[in-house]
Structure 1
Amino acid sequence: MKYIIGVLSIIIICGLAALVSKKRKEIRLRPIFVMLATQFIMAMLLLKTNVGNTIIMTFAKGFGYLLSYAQEGVNFAFGNLVNQGEMSFFVSVLLPIVFISALIGILQHWHILGFIVKYIGLGLSKINGMGKLESYNAVASAILGQSEVFISIKKQLGLLPEHRLYTLCTSAMSTISMAIVGAYMQLLDPRYVVTAMVLNLLGGFIIASIINPYQVQPEEDILTIQEERQSFFEMLSEYILDGFKVAVIVAAMLIGFIALITMANSIFTAVLGISFQEILGYIFAPLAFLVGIPWEEAVQAGGIMATKIVSNEFVAMHLLMNSEFKFSEHSIAVISVFLVSFANFSSIGIIVGAIKALDSRQGNTAARFGLKLLYGASLVSFLSATVVGLLY
């Protein structure tokens, strides 16, 4: 039964994408089927094989070392802020982002990341049937982040037509930045974080290929990576400050959204006898069921999924961790993969603001398709969750 529901879910997700497509006759099915097959192969490799387990455990262990190094700096600055034996989300989960951001800056400065991203992107372009720039941007987004990635292609931004800009923005919203992977791994099982990263990378192209089909002509398919000339310490201080800004911004968003959701729950419960999150849960329950959540868990899971879209993934992860409802391991896997992306309303502002700072005209273009962008990126999350629901 779950396989029938899973296949139906994929058809519905692709159908919802086609529903808002203005060029349905130009949709190319072959690259979509190839990418779907690649998603299943990668998910099976990561979740069902010893090789995949080894890859994930190595990845998680490496981040564990990095987080332990980061904690030394955090403890020096904020060592007495937390009582012994207690945990502060800001200190323990968010502040290590500063160190990870600095490390990314060093690898970028030494051209190590640029080399990796460029050639993975070139390989990916052979699978997705799209341009080299789109493929580079997808991989770079998963490392640099949804706003920083546009700096690396700022020379091309002003030359891009709207359909190519939409694909770039979809990739940026569907992925996550390497700087916060460590934070995610402290909240979710590393297996699901790594799997979601890979599936979302491909899923972004699948959904964009349906909503926004096009072919890049050879003369348009030019990949030039923009690199800023900075001294080592100028770069390092910039990345450290950027990491701290991310940590503070995420903390501020959590304070605001969790407080607002708590207030909304209280008001709705007092007036209607049902909390705001329960209402969201009932609305999203059919979608949660489609992606593989058992019906008896669908309302609670739907509430968490909806919270991620209307607020952000950290708020939803907090709810998943502290939920009194005991989800099955299968449901935890599906929900966790769904949560690992930047697909939420606040990301529209982040992406539009980043592009507008580099090219005001293109920033206005991105603002016009902002809701369509969130719609597509959310479908990417549902697609990745469906794949895991079928295989787990």
Structure 2
Amino acid sequence: MKYLIGGLGLLLFLVIAWLASSNKEQVKLRPIIIMIVLQFILGYILLVTSVGQFIISGIANGFERLLDYAAEGIQFVFGGLMNPGESPFFMNVLLPIVFISALIGILQHWRILPFIVKYIGFALSKINGMGKLESYNAVASAILGQSEVFISLKKQLHLLPKHRMYTLCASAMSTVSMSIVGAYMTLINPAYVVTAIVLNLFGGFIIASIINPYQVTEEEDLIVVEEEERQSFFEMLGEYIMDGFKVAVVVAAMLLGFVALIAMINGIFNAVLGISFQDLLGYIFAPFAFLMGVPWNEAVYSGSIMATKLVSNEFVAMQILSEGAESLSARSEAIVSVFLVSFANFSSIGIISGAVKGLNEEKGNMVARFGLKLLFGATLVSFLTATIVGLIY
């Protein structure tokens, strides 16, 4: 029965994408089928096989070691503020972003990450039937982040038409930055984080190639990566450390505001309607959760977590999931966890359009105009990835 429901869900999400397509006749089936098959193969390897467990264990242990190293710095600076037996979210989950951001800066400075991004992007372009620029951007977004990635394409922004800008922005919203992957792993199972990152990479191409199909000529497909003025090692290191701290503080501020607002809205809805706002959203999202493979008796709770991610952000939703994971079966937890690992939420529209506008005002305004369609596509990517995990698990 799970295969029937999951298969119907998978088909429905693809049909929804097709109905929203800007050019239905130009949708290419062959690369879409290839990428869906690859998603199933990679998902199965990562979640079911001993090889996948070994890979995920290695990645999780690596991030655990990095978080331990980060804890040394946090303890040195904030040790006197931490009470024994307590686990402050800002200290243990957000501040390690500073250390991981510094490591990303070092790998960028030594030209290791640009090399990896270039050749993985080139290989992906042979699979997805899209341009090399789109493939480069998808890989770069997963490392640099949804706003920072556009800095590396600053020289090309003014040349890009609307349809290509949509795909670039959709990739940025569907992936997550490597600097916060460690933070996710403290809240949900690392296996689901790694699986979502890999599957979302292909899912972004699948949905974008259905919603927004187009052909790219060889002349249009030149990658001109913006080269920043060469800094000394310690200038670069200081800049990335400060950038990591800014990210941690911004995420903390967003969490503070959203958690407080959701608590207030829940209180108002409870007083007026006798039902919380999150429970109400849960009923709206429950059918989608069911089609992704969540049993109906768990669908409302799962739907409320998914909706919370959409209207606030993934950290708020992951925190709720981690506190109530015992309410879900292992399979439902896997499906919901994978759904949460992306930047697909309303605040990301402002983040991405603002980042592009800071580099090119005309293109930033263009992104803002198709912002809701961008969120629609990125959310479909999360539905697609989570459904595939539900069929595998």
| TM score, norm. by length of structure 2 | 0.99
Q: In structure 2, what is the Cα distance between the partners aligned to 1:321 and 1:48? A: 22
Match of 2:165 in 1: 165
Match of 1:238 in 2: 239
Q: Which runs of 5+ in 1 are unaligned?
A: none
1:309 corresponds to 2:304: no
Aligned letter for 1:39?
A: Q
Is the 8 Å Cα contact of residues 6 and 291 (structure 1) preserved in structure 2? yes
- Runs of at least 4 residues off by over 2 Å: none
Aligned letter for 1:38?
A: L
Aligned letter for 2:343?
A: F
Match of 2:153 in 1: 153
Q: In structure 2, what is the Cα distance between the partners aligned to 1:234 and 1:214? A: 42
Is the 8 Å Cα contact of residues 99 and 243 (structure 1) preserved in structure 2? yes
Query: What is the aligned residue count?
Result: 392
Question: RMSD value over aligned CA atoms?
Answer: 0.8
Matches for 1:309-328 after TM superposition, within 5 Å: 309-323=310-324, 326-328=327-329
Match of 2:49 in 1: 49
Matches for 1:1-392 after TM superposition, within 5 Å: 1-229=1-229, 230-323=231-324, 326-392=327-393
Q: CA deviation at 1:325?
A: 6.0
Aligned letter for 1:280?
A: L
Q: In structure 1, what is the Cα distance between the partners aligned to 2:80 and 2:175? A: 35
Is the 8 Å Cα contact of residues 141 and 175 (structure 2) preserved in structure 1? yes
Q: In structure 1, what is the Cα distance between the partners aligned to 2:192 and 2:383? A: 14
Is the 8 Å Cα contact of residues 13 and 383 (structure 1) preserved in structure 2? yes
SS of the aligned residue for 2:275 comes to: coil
Q: Once the two structures are superposed, what CA deviation does each residue of 1:223-280 show, in whole Å capped at 9, x if it has no partner?
A: 2222212222221111111100110011011111111111111111111111111100
Q: In structure 1, what is the Cα distance between the partners aligned to 2:324 and 2:57? A: 26
Is the 8 Å Cα contact of residues 325 and 333 (structure 2) preserved in structure 1? no
Aligned letter for 2:303?
A: G
Identity, % of aligned positions? 69
Q: In structure 1, what is the Cα distance between the partners aligned to 2:318 and 2:353? A: 25
SS of the aligned residue for 2:237 comes to: helix
Q: In structure 2, what is the Cα distance between the partners aligned to 1:344 and 1:354? A: 16
Q: Once the two structures are superposed, what CA deviation does each residue of 1:359-386 show, in whole Å capped at 9, x if it has no partner?
A: 1111011011000000000000000000
Q: In structure 1, what is the Cα distance between the partners aligned to 2:373 and 2:209? A: 14
Is the 8 Å Cα contact of residues 314 and 343 (structure 2) preserved in structure 1? yes
Aligned letter for 2:55?
A: I
| TM score, norm. by length of structure 1 | 0.99
Q: CA deviation at 1:19?
A: 1.8
Aligned letter for 2:232?
A: S
Q: In structure 2, what is the Cα distance between the partners aligned to 1:290 and 1:369? A: 27
Q: In structure 1, what is the Cα distance between the partners aligned to 2:290 and 2:383? A: 11
Q: CA deviation at 1:304?
A: 0.2
SS of the aligned residue for 1:219 comes to: coil
Is the 8 Å Cα contact of residues 300 and 325 (structure 1) preserved in structure 2? no
Q: In structure 1, what is the Cα distance between the partners aligned to 2:182 and 2:63? A: 6
Is the 8 Å Cα contact of residues 122 and 136 (structure 1) preserved in structure 2? yes
Q: In structure 2, what is the Cα distance between the partners aligned to 1:32 and 1:171? A: 16
Moved more, 174-183 or 325-334: 325-334
Aligned letter for 2:92?
A: S
